[in-house]
Amino acid sequence: MPYLIDRAIPVGSFAGSGQPTLTVSGGALLRPWLISDADAVTEAFRDPAIQRWHVRRADSVDEARGWIQEWQRSWGEETAGHWAVADAQTGAPLGRMSLKAWNLTDGTADIAYWMMPAARGGGVCPRAVTALANWALGEAGFHRLELEHSTANEASCRVAVKAGFADEGVRRGAALHADGWHDMHLHARVRQD
């Protein structure tokens, strides 16, 4: 059955090109994940705060390598993009930014993130979210980005607000965490914001 509309983003727009590295103000960048980052990913997922807000843990460096391989493949499959938030001087990972759940027909995607404990509190995360959103809504051609976090995660809410994501309400009982069902606060940015 033919569509009555053109896709917002044509299939093949990403698979045919390499994943970009994006500049983040304040001495950071978003770069594709490397297999050599597996130790840092394993260490990050030992952090109780990351375990609280995410539903997975890394039990070994080999498991983290597998995740990174999945993250790398998702670009060519045009389903997601995953970046390491890295120190611009050393390249050391500071956290993760994901543009996931791509819908190329509607031009929508979700943003998710985490930061390593030492990188929290200095404004790196909201600057990285802003850089990713600006690229996604600009050069990449997405129309709408959603960002969702537990209503109990006040730090994540501050990141969303600082990055210009408007409050769109609460989705009740929308996500299962290790401690039970959480209401999820929905934020979004659209291209014309």
Q: Work out whether the CA dihedral 146, 150, 156, 157 comes out positive or negative.
A: positive
- The pLDDT assigned to 1 comes to 74
Is pLDDT of 161 > 80? yes
In terms of phi and psi (left: phi > 0; alpha: psi -120 to 50; beta: otherwise), the region of 149 is beta
Q: How confident is the model at residue 140 (pLDDT cuts 50, 70, 90)?
A: very high
Confidence (pTM): 0.95
Q: What is the mean pLDDT of the chain?
A: 96
The tens digit of pLDDT for each residue in 95-132 reads 999 999 999 999 999 999 999 999 999 999 999 999 99
Question: What confidence score (pLDDT) does residue 101 get?
Answer: 98
Q: Across the chain, how many H-helices and E-strands are there? A: 5, 8
- CA atoms in the 13 A half-sphere facing the CB of 137: 20
| Amino acid letter, residue 43 | E
For residues 36-43, give the mean pLDDT.
97
pLDDT of residue 117: 95
Look at 47-56, 116-125, 181-190 and tell me which has the smallest mean pLDDT: 47-56
Nearest to residue 24, comparing CAs of 173, 126, 151?
A: 126
Beta bridge partners of 109: 145
Q: Is the pLDDT of residue 149 over 90?
A: yes
